[in-house]
Amino acid sequence: MVAAVAANCVIGVDIGGTKMLVGVVDESLGVLHRIQQPTADADTNELLDRLASMVDEAVEAAPGEVLGVGFGVAGILDAKAGMIAAAPHLPLVGVPFEALMGERLGVPVAVDNDGNTSMLAEWLHGAAKGVSDAVMLTVGTGIGGGIVANGGLVRGSSGGGAEFGHMVIEQDGEQCSCGGHGHFEWYASGDAIGRAGERLAGRNPASALAAAAVEGREVTGALVTELAHDGDAASIEAIVEVGKRLGQGMVSITNIFNPELIVVGGGAIAAGDLLLGPAREIVEREALASLGANVSIVPAEFGADAGVIGAAVLAFEQMAQA
């Protein structure tokens, strides 16, 4: 039994702006071994070296042969140029990542945007299994995502899709970290929950949220979510507000894609139906009736390990096609 499981492993690597997470993943998508390191302060070569040594360590820890390595990167790929075109928090812009990591590791390597790997994992093995038209939103610091249409992952002409966080939902609105204006992730991300929480703490001095702020705790999306689950009205209001904004973006997604499913992952999904409830109400009220009636809005199945598992699924897929 152990031998059978051990026969097919891959390494999944989740490269985020603050940390890198490497996992040994078997075919049933169990994560057998985890290695984590901070991303911060590394230059390009250091980062690549650190990744290579983490992967080597994972390969040694694997209970059998490692078939390949998948990377999910918090950045925009340019598949045509074979490099990472944009990555706000990583020293990887302009880097031919797949080629360089392949050289360093000497095993087959697959690379994609982390929104796409999350969509792939949910579609092949999670909440969107068997669905031919679905959209994934990963709601965290920003908003990433992926698209399945006609039973295939949609990556765009140069592999740079699907940046749902950078949809315009407010003309001439607030400036986004990317330089654009009025983007979805400003209004509907985990960070947006934190910002709404700060504002509502100020307006509700008797709230648990205001008390936490006075104690010197940073008002983050995670804190607001925690206090909302404890019943704090101001915290709940902050999440409902952001849930409605999330719903407005989902109206666009519903009317454009006519998806069967919108899957919501990322850190903000810890708020559960406090966040998804208001989003569902907006879609029901504001989307084109015949399309809104055909869409379900559901939480992702893969939680904290979604990044590693998504990258592993990418590796399994690439090996299967090779």
Question: How many CB atoms within 10 Å of residue 198?
Answer: 17
Matching residue, tokens 């969107």: 128
CA separation for the pair 103, 312 (Å, rounded): 19
- Is the CB of 27 or the CB of 170 nearer to its own copies? 170
- Is the CB of 4 or the CB of 288 nearer to its own copies? 288
Quick one: DSSP state of residue 175?
A: B
CA separation for the pair 268, 176 (Å, rounded): 19
CA separation for the pair 48, 42 (Å, rounded): 9
- Is the CB of 128 or the CB of 274 nearer to its own copies? 128
Distance in Å, CB of 34 to its own copies, minimum:
31
Distance in Å, CB of 183 to its own copies, minimum:
8
Question: How many CB atoms within 10 Å of residue 216?
Answer: 6
Matching residue, tokens 């804190």: 223
- Is the CB of 222 or the CB of 291 nearer to its own copies? 291
- Where on the chain is the footprint of its own copies (CB under 8 A)? 76, 78, 85-86, 131-133, 147, 149-150, 152, 154-164, 166-171, 173, 178-182, 187, 245, 248-249, 251-252, 255-260, 286-291, 294-295
Q: How far is CA 187 from the centre of its chain?
A: 17
Distance in Å, CB of 291 to its own copies, minimum:
5
- Is the CB of 84 or the CB of 227 nearer to its own copies? 84
The SS3 of residue 65 is coil
- Is the CB of 11 or the CB of 287 nearer to its own copies? 287
CA separation for the pair 275, 244 (Å, rounded): 8
The SS3 of residue 252 is helix
User: 112 with 118: CB under 8 angstroms?
Assistant: no
Distance in Å, CB of 281 to its own copies, minimum:
13
Distance in Å, CB of 123 to its own copies, minimum:
13
- Is the CB of 12 or the CB of 140 nearer to its own copies? 140
CA separation for the pair 118, 134 (Å, rounded): 12
Distance in Å, CB of 5 to its own copies, minimum:
34
Quick one: DSSP state of residue 202?
A: H
| Tokens of residue 131, six digits | 């669905």
Distance in Å, CB of 124 to its own copies, minimum:
16
